Structure 1
Amino acid sequence: MRSDKHQVKKKGRWTKILLIFLLLLGVGIGYSYFQYKQGVNQSLKQLQTNPSKVNYSFNGQKDQYGDTNILLLGSDARGKETSRSDTIMIAHFNQKKGTFKLTSIMRDCYVEIPGHGKHKINAAFAYGGPDLLRQTIKQNFDLDSQYYAIVDFRGFEQLIDEAFPNGVEIDVEKEMKRNIGVTLEPGRQRLNGKQLLGYVRFRHDAMSDFGRVERQQKTVRAIKDQLSGFKTIAKLPKLIGVVTPYVNTNMKTSDILFMGKDFLSDKSGKVDTLRIPIDNSFTEPRVPGEGLVLDINVEKNKQALHQFITK
């Protein structure tokens, strides 16, 4: 008799615990959705309208190592089909390790584009959207991407201002002002969204695109280091909402939230970066109809890429 009463009490206790857990889970989901929608509405007020987005087909898969690769693109015409991709990056996510790596592919790499012959790699986006660019990377470097995200530069500004009310701390190497809409003085300082965007887009110096790619990677590392922590993870749904109207992607919001949580956790460590082409693997000839290009040693760069993501 006492045993039966004990079992009933134990069962009742676990039922209460389960109900409390489900209640807390429901509150958490509801709060996250509220924060997400608040972020979306905040950006839509800035835009004053819900921007139309081109619907792209994208047939990528996880790579041969089981990693998730996200093709990150910044378009110089902000989503129009005829534009060339201004920035080409691949974010590598290893779910088992919870680690992230970042590869930047310079837009002037002279490679074979399936069905179009040899061109600068950023022309692939103009010819066939993100999927043709994915195919081009796979054909030349033997690496597939499961997702793509085309980022409107205004979304970058909004995200930075929301996540960093006091700005992102960056050491600006030199004075920068030509064609970036702001003037940046040299020295360590905090940059708001507009200033940071100018910093990562600047290329009018002797380093040209090489310097720009280096600054982009440096900025990603700074954002990761300065965002990491529990408080930021709590703000993640709103941050995703803020940037959503500015991003064309085939990723579900739940996927972004899951990967974003891992990216911001202290366990993910620092973000390792790679630039293609690597040093001593290219020449810079002038090609009729293309101008100056980066004529790369494809095999050498392919090996470097695979060593980078598997080490």
Structure 2
Amino acid sequence: MAWVFCSAYQLAMESDIQEGIAMLPQVEFLGKRVSRLIIGDNPVNGHSYIPELISKDDMLDYYTEATVHAAMDEGLRLGYNTWLPLACDFMLRALRHYRNCGKELEIIFQPYPALDFAVNLRQMLELKPLGIYHQGTTTDGLMEQGKAQVIKDRIKMVKDSGVHIGLGTHVPETILQAEEEEWGCDFYVGCLHNTRKRGDGQLSSFITGKPKHMKFYAEDRPLMLSAMRQVSKPCIAFKVLAGGQLFYHHRAEETPAIVEEAFREAFSQLKAGDIAAVGCFQRDKNQLAENAAALTRALTAMGKA
């Protein structure tokens, strides 16, 4: 999301930003060295959780293939070596063209719910991803319909392809159930905000095409973090910044501390090999650099850098 930073903070951060790739530490994740913070792409696809501040149209108008590639280049410069993209046609083509330029970028895909799963899997496999995870809203909807077997069949389909398979969800209990029942997941992708618990369980706007404005609640965060600590498999936490909602009703100069504290909260509870994903909207600010600097400060303060 595009939050505004005070000029004093911009000046204070310049030395951090110049650190470049050294800013982000890496961990072993699915057999590769992966940055502890990776890049989600909700903003790339116009998926805004603060639409009264930044709309779907703002995001879609800004993110052309050229600006996506520019964000990928900047991410690599800062040490982000992995994206968590939606496997829609736009991102499949953008990633293909980026790879054709010889750029080294790891991909952990979430399938595009509007497409047939088997067809979309074939498209994702062409790009040789590090992993694929079952998209969270789709997981939650199938679970609510009593169709867990559909999820298990898809997990097997991806596993049989030879790619690491993950399970995404907004519901902590689903991670614990999948692990206890041995669904065959290699990793889990958990939202720190349970959008299903309060009747917000809707079809993804990727399917409906209609914007929706969910409210995220802080009390959900420790529940998902606890679930991810309870499983031995590596995990990816997302919505760490609540899609930008953490910054509501705060002054611009408060924003850096809020970002750092959110990372401190998450990484103090994640396992040593777990990572987090945060989307970026690069139009107004270099959020990639600012988030990398905030995470570095948080990990350093905790002695985990």
Same fold judged by TM-score > 0.5?
A: no
> TM-score normalised to the size of structure 1?
0.27
**TM-score, normalising length: structure 2:** 0.27
Name the one with the larger strand percent: 1
Which of structures 1 and 2 has the bigger CA Rg?
Answer: 1
